[in-house]
Every structure is written in C-alpha cells, then in structure tokens.
A and B are shown apart, each in its own frame.
Chain A
C-alpha cells in the first residue's frame, strides 16, 4: 500500500496512468449522467404536491452533493500536502477548486430557481443556504490565495491551511437542517433509513450523481495533467512527451 502511495507522488507516473483511465471515466460518466437526467426530467413520475417543478432535483442534488464531496477530497489532499509534502496533492487542490466553485454556484442557482415558485422566495438567510454560500466563498478564496502567492511551495502550504480550516463548514452544511430551524427541508436520503421517495425517482437521481462523479474524475485528470505539464516543463520526460506528440 505504501508503495502505491509513494508512486502517487510521482507526477510522471500519474500522467501515464491517468491517460489510460480518462476515456473510461468520460464515457461512463456521460452515459450515466445522460441516462439519469433524461429519465429524471422526462420519464420519472411527477410529485403529488409540486408537480413538475420538483424535477430540478435531478440537477440540484448532484451538483450540491459534488460541491461538498469535492471539498472533502480537497481537504484530504491538503492534509497530505501539509504532512507528506506530496506535490501531486497540491496539483489536485489547484486543479479541482474551480470545478467545485462552478458546481456550488449551480447548486445555489438551481435552488433559487426552485425556491421562487415553491417557497415564495429565491433567497433566505437560513442555515443551509448561508453555509452553502460560505462554501462558494471558500472555493473563491482558495483560488484567489493560490493566484496571489507566486512561490509554488508557499502557495501550496497557505492554500492547504485555508482548505483545512474551511472543512469545518462541511458538517455544518450537512447537519444545518437538523440542528436549526431552516426553510430548506431535511435530507430525503439517510444512510440508515429508506429514502422518503419512490425508486422511480431516486434511481435516476442516483445515476446522475454517479455520472457527475465520473465526469468530475475525468475533468480532474484533464486539469491535473495540464498543471503537471506546466510545472514540470523543464524536465526531460515532458520535453520528450511534447516533441513526440500524443502518439
């Protein structure tokens, strides 16, 4: 296991192995996401109370879920950066932060679009919405801090500290609806209980979450490869790779 861990630290090894996985991630992700979204938007039954407007969950839930999931992955990578000083961990944080930012924004936006007709307002300062907005600012802060420091190593450490401090927000987002009175409803899916939703609604939702996960994996690989190439541009293997072209 440790050998694998140390290999992961080598940008060159990661570059090679990720190139092999990427087409599968993209194909599987697109397939699952298309199936989930088309099934959810066109074929799943409508809700007894909200009618068709509930269908936005097939976009809202995957983006909100991924936005938090990516942050947890970033925090794990930040821990690795601080403790093991692994270069690839920092490359990961830098590569996925903008993806997380976009997904958080999409979750907030789709929530607002749904909130206007359902609740009667597109924004309210309840604990769930506010903590999600803080997540958006955290992603923005991580990107800005990384850009603000020129030295690669100090940027990596400063960003890692910020990411780790921000991880406290994740349980707050998750449990805000249970700890406080909020306008946002509590979770439909719980680990220990049956979802309060029939299978013909949650199966397409699950498919789109999985699909988005795979597409995120592909996107992370693409962005990490670009970052690796630009960081290692002076090494021999990158020069050879560029001269040789992709073939």
Chain B
C-alpha cells in the first residue's frame, strides 16, 4: 500500500477507535438512565427511588393477579424469579397482559414498597410459534408434570 494511504488509514482507524472508547465510556456511565426500567431485584434492594416516577419491569407472577370486581383495579406481583414487587393499577390492560407474561409499568414506588402504576405496557419476548405448537407444548408440559407427580407417589408409601 502507498505510504500516504497507509498513514491516512492509520489516522482514520485510530480516530474511530478513540471515538468508540469515548462512546462506550459515556453509555456505561449513563447506563442507569438508558435502562428503561428497574427490575424487581433492584427495587427490593432499595436501588429505586421512592415517590419518583419510574418504570418497573418483569414477569407477572403466576396466580398473583387479583381483580377488584367493583372497579378496574388490578393487583399483581412482578417478578424476575429472584425477587418480586407488588403492583397496583387502575385502568385497561393491554391485550397481551397475562400471568407469566413480561410487562413494563410506569408509576411511583410508595413507602411500603408497593408500586402504584399509572401505565402498564406489555413486553413481548423473542419467541414466535403457531398456536398448535403452543398447545402441544402446553399439553406435553402438563403430561410431564402429571407423570412426575405420579412417579413421586410410590415414594410416600
């Protein structure tokens, strides 16, 4: 390669490397601002500020959704499978909201550690499958649970 071109290439690559380091450090320093939401472990560890509008995200815990029969009030637990946070919300939930689904809620954490949401968004995961496959998977996991339960029975005799 021509020496002038070689010099230009070195300069350009050097600048690009410097720029990448600068951007990497900036985004690393701002990571808490770039994160869209706090997860339940962070909230229960006291990392989230109290009575400030923040977002909390995680999975809706199975069997935790309690609907008020008189109003649109819903209470549920949001979990990341190591900690969970109680959430209350009054309003219409998105179609994808269900137990075991991911959500992101916007609202305030009160002094008792309950999250009072004023907006609940559904988070979709990266898995796609046809309804028949999903049905078959569910059947298979039910059958497995049943056979597991049966196989443990003789041991209790």
* Contact surface of A with B, Cβ cutoff 8 Å: 45-50, 54, 79, 82-84, 117-121, 124-127, 164-165, 167-168, 172, 179-183, 185-188, 196-198, 200-201
Q: Are B36 and A183 in contact (CB under 8 A)?
A: yes
Partner of B130, one of A45, A118, A126: A45
Q: Given A83-B8, A164-B12, check contact A183 B130 (CB 8 Å).
A: no
Residues of B close to A120: CB separation below 8 A: 94, 119-122
Q: Are A180 and B19 in contact (CB under 8 A)?
A: no
Residues of A close to B123: CB separation below 8 A: 119, 183, 185
CB of B63 closer than 8 Å to a CB of A? no
CB of B68 closer than 8 Å to a CB of A? no
Q: Are A168 and B124 in contact (CB under 8 A)?
A: no
CB of B39 closer than 8 Å to a CB of A? yes
Question: B137's closest neighbor in chain A, by CB?
Answer: A48
Question: B93's closest neighbor in chain A, by CB?
Answer: A120
Q: Are A48 and B36 in contact (CB under 8 A)?
A: no
CB of B9 closer than 8 Å to a CB of A? yes
Q: What is the size, in residues, of chain B's interface with A at 8 Å between Cβ atoms? A: 39
* Contact surface of B with A, Cβ cutoff 8 Å: 5, 8-9, 12, 15-16, 19-20, 23, 27, 31, 34-39, 57, 94-96, 104, 119-135
Q: Are A118 and B124 in contact (CB under 8 A)?
A: yes
Q: Are A49 and B36 in contact (CB under 8 A)?
A: no
Work out how many contacts link A and B, with CB atoms closer than 8 A.
Answer: 109
Give the distance in Å from the alpha carbon of A125 to the alpha carbon of B121 in the complex. Answer: 13
Residues of B close to A167: CB separation below 8 A: 16
Give the distance in Å from the alpha carbon of A83 to the alpha carbon of B9 in the complex. Answer: 6
Partner of A188, one of B19, B20, B127, B135: B127
Q: Are A45 and B36 in contact (CB under 8 A)?
A: no
Question: B42's closest neighbor in chain A, by CB?
Answer: A181
Question: B30's closest neighbor in chain A, by CB?
Answer: A180
Q: Are A180 and B126 in contact (CB under 8 A)?
A: no
Partner of B126, one of A46, A84, A187: A187
Q: Are A183 and B121 in contact (CB under 8 A)?
A: yes
In angstroms, how far is the closest chain B Cβ from the Cβ of A115?
A: 9
Q: Are B121 and A168 in contact (CB under 8 A)?
A: no
Partner of A183, one of B5, B95, B104, B132: B104
In angstroms, how far is the closest chain A Cβ from the Cβ of B117?
A: 12
Known contacts A118-B94, A181-B37, then 7 further A-B pairs from the complex at CB < 8 Å, ordered by chain A residue? A46-B131, A83-B9, A119-B124, A168-B23, A179-B31, A188-B128, A201-B130
In angstroms, how far is the closest chain B Cβ from the Cβ of A29?
A: 25
Q: Are A79 and B36 in contact (CB under 8 A)?
A: no
In angstroms, how far is the closest chain A Cβ from the Cβ of B149?
A: 26
Q: Are A83 and B5 in contact (CB under 8 A)?
A: yes
Residues of B close to A188: CB separation below 8 A: 126-128
Partner of B121, one of A46, A119, A198: A119
- Sample 23 A-B pairs with CB under 8 A, ordered by A number: A45-B130, A45-B132, A46-B131, A47-B130, A48-B133, A48-B134, A48-B135, A49-B96, A79-B9, A82-B8, A84-B5, A118-B124, A119-B94, A119-B122, A125-B36, A127-B34, A164-B16, A167-B16, A172-B27, A181-B38, A183-B36, A183-B123, A185-B124
